[in-house]
């Protein structure tokens, strides 16, 4: 979904796009949501499939990642770019990629404030709420047909 705003969405890897991916996640998770640096960066980034959204000048504006086990995470859109369909475009791209890879189930740890966003794609809440990085979360799952 591209709601008239010029942006470019791509699947990328950490090796090639680390600075862009880091700058978006630093702005959203570390600066805005106060997630500790030590929790934000892990060894999984190197083996994940990453989504990178950039504006026309190449500035990073959104990212997300897919772990090899079907876990979707680190979904982040810079504040000024939210509610323009970019998060939806990223999630659609990930789900399309998962289906192409023959993956059967997507799981994620949803911040409670983002539950409605994921429900729009058919994700269902699973289990009890828990705290992660000081933020309330709940597991959500989507069976991929
Ligand atoms: C969650 C996030 C990625 C959504 O990205 P986005 O680009 O704003 O999403 P979209 O514009 O595609 O939203 C599509 C629809 O989802 C719903 N939605 C999006 N964010 C929502 C929110 N925070 N709460 C409730 N509904 C939301 C809305 O219905 C929206 O449609 P609308 O704009 O017509 O109302 C973005 O808000 C974000 O980066 N948040 C900060 C980081 C974060 O919390 N990440 C989630 C970690 S689990």
Examine residue 30 and state whether it is found in any structural domain, yes or no: yes
Examine residue 109 and state whether it is found in any structural domain, yes or no: no
* Predicted local confidence at residue 97, as pLDDT: 97
* pLDDT band (50, 70, 90) for residue 145: confident
What is the distance between the alpha carbons of residues 61 and 45, in angstroms, rounded to a whole number?
Answer: 18
Residue nearest ligand 1's atom 10 by CA: 85
Q: Domain containing 46 — which CATH number?
A: 3.40.630.30
Examine residue 121 and state whether it is found in any structural domain, yes or no: no
> Model's pTM, two decimal places?
0.95
- For the chain, give the mean pLDDT: 96
> Does ligand 1 have an atom closer than 6 angstroms to the CB of 1?
no
* Predicted local confidence at residue 130, as pLDDT: 97
* Predicted local confidence at residue 5, as pLDDT: 75
Each residue's pLDDT tens digit, 105-121:
999 999 999 999 999 99
Examine residue 128 and state whether it is found in any structural domain, yes or no: no
Examine residue 134 and state whether it is found in any structural domain, yes or no: no
Average pLDDT over residues 22-39: 97
Instruction: Give me ligand 1 centre to Cα 117, in Å.
Output: 5
User: CA 37, 40, 45, 49: dihedral to nearest 10 degrees?
Assistant: -140
> Does ligand 1 have an atom closer than 6 angstroms to the CB of 71?
no
> Does ligand 1 have an atom closer than 6 angstroms to the CB of 15?
no
Examine residue 132 and state whether it is found in any structural domain, yes or no: no
Average pLDDT over residues 117-140: 97
Number of domains the chain is built from:
1
Of 70, 67, 29, 26, residue with least CA distance to 50: 67
> Does ligand 1 have an atom closer than 6 angstroms to the CB of 67?
no
What is the distance between the alpha carbons of residues 84 and 99, in angstroms, rounded to a whole number?
Answer: 25
Average pLDDT over residues 17-26: 98
> Does ligand 1 have an atom closer than 6 angstroms to the CB of 83?
yes
Examine residue 68 and state whether it is found in any structural domain, yes or no: yes
Instruction: Give me ligand 1 centre to Cα 115, in Å.
Output: 9
């Amino acid at each position: 979904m591209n709601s008239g705003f010029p942006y470019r969405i791509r699947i990328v890897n950490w090796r090639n796009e680390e600075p862009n991916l880091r700058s978006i996640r630093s702005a959203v998770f570390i600066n805005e949501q106060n997630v500790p640096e030590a929790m934000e960066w892990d060894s999984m980034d190197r083996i994940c499939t990453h989504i990178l959204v950039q504006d026309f000048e190449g500035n990073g504006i959104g990212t997300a990642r897919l772990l090899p086990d079907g876990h979707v995470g680190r979904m982040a859109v810079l504040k000024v770019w939210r509610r323009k369909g970019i998060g939806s475009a990223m999630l659609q791209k990930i789900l399309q990629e998962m289906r192409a890879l023959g993956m059967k189930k997507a799981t994620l740890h949803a911040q409670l404030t983002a539950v409605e966003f994921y429900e729009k794609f058919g994700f269902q809440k699973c289990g009890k709420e828990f705290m992660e990085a000081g933020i309330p979360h709940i597991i959500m799952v989507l069976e991929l047909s």
